[in-house]
Amino acid sequence: MERIRVSKVEDVALWRRGVRFDGTLHLMPHHMVFSYIPPLPAGSPPPAKPPRQKEVWITYPMISYCVLRPSPPASHQLPSIRIRGRDFTFFAFNFDDEKKARDVYDTIRGLSCKVGRLDKLLAFSYQPKPPEDKLDGWQIYDARREWKRLGISPKDTEKGWRISEINKDYKYSPTYPSLLVVPTKISDNVLNYAGNYRSRARIPALVYRHPINNCSITRSSQPSPGIRGNRSPQDEKLVAAIWATNSGWKASQASTPSNPAGGSPESSVINLTESSANSSFVGVVDAEAVNSGRTIVDDLTDSSEAETDAPKVYGAQQRNMIVDARPTVNAYAMQAVGLGSEKMEYYPGAQKAFLGIDNIHVMRKSLDTVIEAIKDSDITNLPPNRNLLIKSGWTKHMTNILDGARLIAETVGIMHSHVLIHCSDGWDRTSQLSALSQICLDPYYRTLEGFIVLVEKDWLSFGHMFRHRSGYLSSDKWFQIENERIDRRSDSPGGGNPFENALRGAKGLFNRQNESSESLTQLPEANGGEMQLVSDAIPPVDGTGASAVIPTPTTIGAAEEHRITKVNELSPVFHQFLDATYQLMHQHPTRFEFNERFLRRLLYHLYSCQYGTFLFDNEKERTEARAAERTRSVWNYFLCRKEEFLNPKYDAVVDDNVRGQERIIFPEKGRPARWWAEVFGRQDDEMNAKVPLFTPQGSGLGSPSNGRSTPVRSGANTPVLQEPLGKEPVVTGTEFAEVATGAGSTIHPKPMAGVGSDAGAGVSLPGAAAFSQNLGQNLAAGMASLGLGTMERGKSPRRSMERSPGRRPREEMEVEMQ
């Protein structure tokens, strides 16, 4: 290949964890391979047979940072290349010649950044060896088969749900699966109108039905009330129909193979310590609801069952819940661009909980700080920087996600209620919470096969931006040459007068072009692919460091066409899901069929690009790219090595009468998340060692050479501050039809003339909530002057937005406000 300047370099030294290995470096189209003869232990006799050569393989998409350090003429240091891997492995290569080092660097950069197309990755040429080549992991998940397992099929008894094919050609919602499960009483015509109210037409759709109480977990994207308080009767009707699906449901109907008796789990009949005074009851009708024309739950329940026929479960009071995973203020800010969160007055029989889980940008920065704490793992064997580990807030984020999953699982499994989950577009935090809560509720998803089905359903089928979040095609920003200034365009200007920088940033909020696919409005489709603008693409840089001419904006589409990595859209969303699963495994070591290594290898193959499973953002892209025909499934790798990934402690028995064998498991309440040390390539005592609140820690320069096995005694220099012991509540804000609580509560301002109703008037808003309402009214006037948030009466929100002259500023602001 023209990008390979050098294919083999001898006399290379590899450093890892402070240990040196001498060998040969090979550069191939998809891998760099370092081969070496392992050194003999000191004092050991020479072996009878020559030692066997070992190899270290690094795939180019695994590289997240690569820096070349040339050798200055006056320096006696050898030129080197340092590499950080996305699997948290760190390498340093020393060369005896600077030209060799530069050729290797340019080759690695060319094979990483200049690919430009997904079909040039390893997955499209990988040919596995037996017995892996006989497997077809693409056939493991079948949507109809999984819905049938959950009791939903045309031949099964009526449970209030049906399978809709409204999206069979992916035109209704390109990021949703072809088959959607919706309430039986909701027609496809209603869905057509309801889709206009949800971002990207990601309507509330079923992902899990509890076999014992017929309660559900549904997921969606955010609605679009905007600052004018727009509403959709069809969306309200759809949500009300979801609440009504278990009306008249009898406990005798719930009989599953894992629980033959069909009774409720022990956890469902205990007295709850939480107060239920604020719970909302399904079917409550009030005069205000009738007069305002709202859809109420009783309108959709034609059951002639008497109230006494409903299941009576001690300790369970139905309180359906809408879970908005975002911080309250973020959800409120999205109203400025025509989106936002539900106004609970129009969704009776439920309450809304804001979980306060931070957005992709906060999570990316958090992981970057963790990497900063362990980044010298190539040349040293020192323990991680505890100050940076604590500063990252990573375990706090993990605790928040687990607490959210617990809330959802408790609501469905204990309170016998329905839950609707969404964040912004419903494919990041929503996927995390939906999948984790199902792991808690259903033992099947804790088996190897069930976990695979869960990932296929909630992440691959319902859509997650794997390509955007993972950056498989690399970026020039990840490649640097020390002491050489490469003139590249920066995302945000720096330096200069601080006031000018602030003014420039304020202008940029409205004027700069934002290409994020995190929250853009649904764009027109062309060539069967997602339309994007690439005016912010990084211009190619030649070997001399001169920037090329910036290309004019171009439209790109299909998976095979040129794509770029948008660094500001990368985020460890799927990594956090695997980390949270590890937390559950650690707390419940006998309830999972698979082991920790399975999760670690799955994270590796998320970035290896050896398989086609994670290369695309949704089911539509995978289908159009014919991924099942042209690539191998990652599940082949695990299934042909199944014994390596099984948990020897696994207990498959489910008995709700025996403690430790219940159907439902929960994250332990009040227990903070721990560090998944193995995934970071560390020992448990390095990451999870308990230290006093203030512990002096030395520089580590005098630490023993083997940082793994020898405890590090702290010096007396820098105190290390542990994370505070106080635990924040999982719910950062709640909202009922009558009242909202929590700082920055999302109270919709009174609708403007001719739009909505006057509900919400007279609500007492203390403190920050009142400030939010005043801010909203001022913001409404400001946005109107900018041409934002305007909507013509009688037109669907989505269509109106597409014609609005303020659409461009909306796109520019959305990612900032999440």
The tens digit of pLDDT for each residue in 463-520 reads 999 999 999 999 999 999 987 754 444 444 344 454 454 444 444 444 444 433 433 3
The tens digit of pLDDT for each residue in 606-652 reads 999 999 999 999 999 999 999 999 999 999 999 999 999 999 999 99
Q: Six-digit token pair at 503? A: 């003014």
Nearest CA-CA partner of 417 in 232, 569, 279: 279
Distance CA 677, CA 518 (A): 30
Residue pair 413/559 in contact by the 8 Å Cβ criterion: no
Tell me the H-state helices in 224-359: 233-243, 287-292, 328-333
Task: Tell me the Ramachandran region of residue 107: left when phi exceeds 0, alpha when psi lies from -120 to 50, beta otherwise.
Answer: alpha
Beta bridge partners of residue 12, listed in sequence order = 23
Map residue 162 onto helix, strand or coil: strand
Tell me the H-state helices in 15-97: none
Q: Which H/E stretch holds residue 34?
A: strand 31-36
Residue 711 vs residue 775, higher pLDDT: 775
Q: Kindly compute the dihedral angle of the four CA atoms of residues 668, 670, 671, 672, in this order, to the nearest 10 degrees.
A: 130
Distance CA 81, CA 79 (A): 7
Residues in the chain: 818
Residue pair 319/411 in contact by the 8 Å Cβ criterion: yes
Q: Six-digit token pair at 165? A: 């094919």
Residue 265 vs residue 97, higher pLDDT: 97
The tens digit of pLDDT for each residue in 136-193 reads 999 999 999 999 999 998 887 788 999 999 999 999 999 999 999 999 999 999 999 9
Beta bridge partners of residue 351, listed in sequence order = 321
Q: Six-digit token pair at 386? A: 């505890």
Distance CA 355, CA 328 (A): 8
Q: Six-digit token pair at 368? A: 């970057």
Q: Six-digit token pair at 86? A: 């996305």
Nearest CA-CA partner of 227 in 743, 815, 772, 808: 772
Angle at 215 between CA 213 and CA 220, to 5 degrees: 165
Q: Six-digit token pair at 376? A: 């010298």
With cut-offs at 50, 70 and 90, classify the pLDDT of residue 729: low
Q: Where are the domains of the chain?
A: 1-114+472-486+522-545, 156-249+280-302+312-361+417-439+740-818, 677-721
Half-sphere exposure of 202 (CA within 13 A, CB side): 31
Distance CA 210, CA 419 (A): 11
Active site residue 113: no
Distance CA 577, CA 454 (A): 12
With cut-offs at 50, 70 and 90, classify the pLDDT of residue 205: very high
The tens digit of pLDDT for each residue in 39-72 reads 877 777 887 888 889 999 999 999 999 999 998 7
Q: Six-digit token pair at 702? A: 């005098």
Distance CA 606, CA 430 (A): 19
Note if the bond before 131 is cis, omega within 30 degrees.
yes
Q: Which residues, 6 or more positions from 738, have their beta carbon under 8 angstroms from its beta carbon?
A: 763
Task: Flag the least confident range among 180-189, 410-419, 728-737.
Answer: 728-737
| CATH-assigned architecture of domain 1-114+472-486+522-545 | Roll (2.30)
Percent of the chain residues topping a pLDDT of 90: 57
Catalytic residue (choose from 66, 215, 423, 440): 423
Predicted pLDDT at 799: 43
The tens digit of pLDDT for each residue in 678-717 reads 999 999 999 998 755 444 443 333 333 333 333 333 333 3
Predicted pLDDT at 6: 83
With cut-offs at 50, 70 and 90, classify the pLDDT of residue 817: low
Distance CA 777, CA 775 (A): 5
Task: Flag the least confident range among 181-195, 316-330, 364-378.
Answer: 316-330
The amino acid at 532:
Q
Predicted pLDDT at 660: 84
Gyration radius of the chain over CA positions: 28
The tens digit of pLDDT for each residue in 536-590 reads 333 333 333 333 333 444 444 445 556 788 999 999 999 999 999 999 999 999 9
Beta bridge partners of residue 135, listed in sequence order = none
Distance CA 522, CA 202 (A): 10
The residue whose two tokens read 């294919």 is 7
Task: Flag the least confident range among 259-268, 272-281, 594-603, 609-618.
Answer: 272-281
Angle at 61 between CA 59 and CA 66, to 5 degrees: 90
Predicted pLDDT at 483: 79
With cut-offs at 50, 70 and 90, classify the pLDDT of residue 134: very high
